Structure 1
Amino acid sequence: MPVKLEHLTEPTEDDFVDFEKIRNDTAPHGLAVDEPLREWITENRWIVGGRFNDRIIGALLAERTGDHVRLSKAGVRRITQGRGVMHQMLHFLCKWADEESLTLEFNDSEDSLSEAILRRNFERQGDLLVYKRTK
């Protein structure tokens, strides 16, 4: 299942419908925030989406501070879980981080993806999993 990675700063109404499906499929730990996703998006915060055909099937939150991007609240639609969606998203995120000279951070205590993330050149630093750029 080929997934296209998108950095969504102005999601469409259909995207918000898809986010809600992901949120429902992954509650309480997946794509869940205390405020509505529409309000969560700011100049330095966005949603990373994994798109298949015209639908968002995977998503996580991204927040940038300087050259660090904190990733959190990952989720994948239940009907596509186990098909490599998050694997592809993480692969493309790491590639993007290398190209942009950014450090990716993932809070290990927030999500259940730590095992998958550690296989992708992230290393434990306290409660964070930090991506070590290859460049």
Structure 2
Amino acid sequence: RNLVFAPPAAEFNQLLEEMIVGELYEWIGKLRNAQQVGNAAAIPPLAVHFVEHLAQILAIAHRHCYTTGSRTLADSLTLARRPAGYDALCGTVMRGALHDTEVVAAQIEACWRGLADWAQGEGLAFREHGDGCWPSSWH
């Protein structure tokens, strides 16, 4: 366990930045594409993927090891610093209340907006990625 947390904070931050850009940014794009083409069936699994990836990001930010996969989401709610909107989305996924896809999509978007402030509070410094879409337009 000590070895896992041995790397310097800068390496953890770089990993967090890469996970947010490489995973969550992709998921938010998939959500918006699904909404654009009217593919409501894609939204529930996107919510699950989004919140599971964000739970892993939170664990890394807190240097926390979850005890078991089945408790990951519940345990993530005990971590001190979470993005605004995370608790609601996490609760929706844990309850399996994914049938109202408009509500679920709105929760994902709210969590994404909360992630921007959370990342800034964590001291993450995103670098511009060629196309000019990050981080200036992540709201």
TM-score over 0.5 for the pair: no
Task: From the two aligned structures, give the one with the greater helix fraction.
Answer: 2
The structure whose Rg is larger is: 2
The TM-score, its normalising length taken from structure 1, stands at 0.29
**TM-score, length basis structure 2:** 0.29
